[in-house]
Amino acid sequence: MGSRKITHWLNEHGYKTLRGHEFQNAHVFSLLKKQARDNRLNVRHKRERETLRMYLLNAPITADKNDNY
């Protein structure tokens, strides 16, 4: 439902703004935009953790003379 239809419905059913005025299209559009922004910013992404595996290799480790360890 668009902001114009919501505005029309609110005014038909007697809803008023906080200051006691009828709703305008811009009011409803602004409210919808803010709600969409809040929903987008407050989404928590599901984190998945995988099992970490380490393998030991039976290979000799040699150092070069040129390595600066």
How crowded is residue 7: how many other Cβ atoms within 10 Å of its Cβ? 19
CA distance 48 to 54: 19
Q: Where are the domains of the chain?
A: 3-41
The pTM of the whole model exceeds 0.75 = no
Per-residue confidence band for 41, with pLDDT thresholds at 50, 70 and 90: confident
Looking at residues 13-23, what average pLDDT do you find?
92
Q: Which residue has the tokens 């480790």?
A: 61
Looking at residues 1-11, what average pLDDT do you find?
91
Q: What is the mean pLDDT of the chain?
A: 83
Q: Which residue has the tokens 């409803």?
A: 28
- How many Å is the Cα radius of gyration of the chain? 30
